[in-house]
Structure formats: C-alpha cells, structure tokens
Amino acid sequence: MEKSTNGAAMAVWVTSHLMSVRGDVWPAEQDGGAYRWEGRAADGAWLATAHGRWLRLAPLVRGDGFPIVARPTLRTFPAVAPGTDLVARGTATGVLLSAVLHRDEAPPELCFRVTLPAGLVLEPMPSGALDVVDDFTGATVGRFPRPWTCDAMYRPVGALYMLDGPVVTLRLDLADVAFPMVALLRYTAVTGRPLPVVPPKMEAHRHELEYAGSPN
C-alpha cells in the first residue's frame, strides 16, 4: 500500500510540475458540481453538460483500478496500464484527467468509453477537440479540447483523438519521448449558467451498458 501511495504522489507531482513549467493556464482544482468519480477507474466519471444532463467517461483499464483519494477533487488510479497512472482533478466545469507515462513500456494508446444521454452526439472538430453536441439544436454542451502533452524535456508530444463509436482513443507518438511524460485529457461543460445537482453514486450504475437520460 505504501508503494502505491508513493507512486500516486509521484504521478501527481509529475503532472503538476510539467503543467506549471510549460506556463499554460489551467482551471483551478475545485468541486463545482460538474464532476463525480466515486468508484474504480473502470466505473468512470459522471460529467455534467451545459443543459443539465450527464455523460459518463470510463477509461478502459487493466485490473480493478481502485483509486488513491487525496481529497474529493484529486484522486490517482495507479497502474491502469504498464508504466501508466491516471490522475483526476475536478474543476468548476468538469475534470482534468492526466495519464502519466513513466517508462517506455507504457502503451501509445489510451482508450475511454463515452456513454451519452439520448439526443447527444460526439463530434470531432478541426481543432482536434471533441464536442458534445445536442443533435436537435446543434448546440455544443460539452467539450474535450485538443489533448495537451509534455515530456520530461518539456516538449509537446504528438497526440490526437480517434473516435470509434462510443470509444475515444488518445493516440500518442512516443518516438523519441523523454519519460516521464503527461498526456492530459480535459472535459468542460460549455455553459453560462449554474450546473445541475450532483448525480447519485455510480456504484448503482456499475453494470449498465447503455445510459439514456439523467440519473435519478
């Protein structure tokens, strides 16, 4: 347990260090009611959309993926793949989910299942982002901006999203990468109004295959 805890702390430090050195401005870590992750890595996170509905983002991981929780807005999932940890930080409008690749055994692809309420679709954007779009109005109600990456030499790493049905693959170009490196997936609700109330614990939905509608 101590080894896992130390590894989780290292993953958090690597993420914070590389993000700060690059000088990018990131949303503050906080609980804004737009994000809940209350189970294992495979259970995924509930994420709010701008019009009060909820989608689920679940990494496809190896093993159970039990978290080490530093606080409700910061948790680490150790060893979700060889040489790879996940760090999840809540923000006011969503989540920053960073994969920390420690060694060259880490895989070049990270996969996530996105389960959407009925009437919402995921659409690739020319910018490299993925937008959650209301299929009836055409409004964007959530967004995964273009992935952010940085290796141990403070260089960006080639990365793009690949969409195959409900599965989003973050593909990384690991040639000549200096480890450790961070690949950051961010979700934000595109909203100008208060977000909806927090959904129930996800344990009740652990075995669902398709989610259609708001949590009760």
| Confidence at residue 166, expressed as pLDDT on a 0 to 100 scale | 93
What number of other Cβ atoms are within 10 A of residue 202's Cβ? Answer: 20
Residue range 105-119, pLDDT digits in tens: 999 999 999 999 999
Structure tokens at 123: 């659409």
- 3-state class (DSSP) for residue 70: strand
Rounded Cα–Cα distance for residues 74 and 181 (Å) = 19
Residue range 37-83, pLDDT digits in tens: 878 999 999 999 998 899 999 999 876 678 999 998 999 999 999 99
Does the pLDDT value for residue 2 go beyond 60?
no
| Confidence at residue 6, expressed as pLDDT on a 0 to 100 scale | 63
| Confidence at residue 190, expressed as pLDDT on a 0 to 100 scale | 78
- As a whole-number percent, the residues of the chain with pLDDT over 90 amount to 61
- Annotate 139-174 with b (16+ C-beta within 10 A) or e (fewer): ebbbbbbbbbbbbeeeeebebebeeeeeebebbbeb
Q: Which strands form 35-36's sheet, in the order they lie side by side?
A: 35-36, 45-48, 54-59, 109-115, 167-172, 159-164
Does the pLDDT value for residue 203 go beyond 50?
no
Helix (H) or strand (E) holding 79: strand 74-81
Q: Which residue has 């880490």 as its token pair?
A: 106
Residue range 167-193, pLDDT digits in tens: 999 999 999 999 999 999 999 997 545
Does the pLDDT value for residue 202 go beyond 80?
no
Rounded Cα–Cα distance for residues 191 and 94 (Å) = 11
- DSSP bridge pairs for 39: none
Nearest to 102 by CA among 119, 121, 81: 81
| Confidence at residue 52, expressed as pLDDT on a 0 to 100 scale | 84
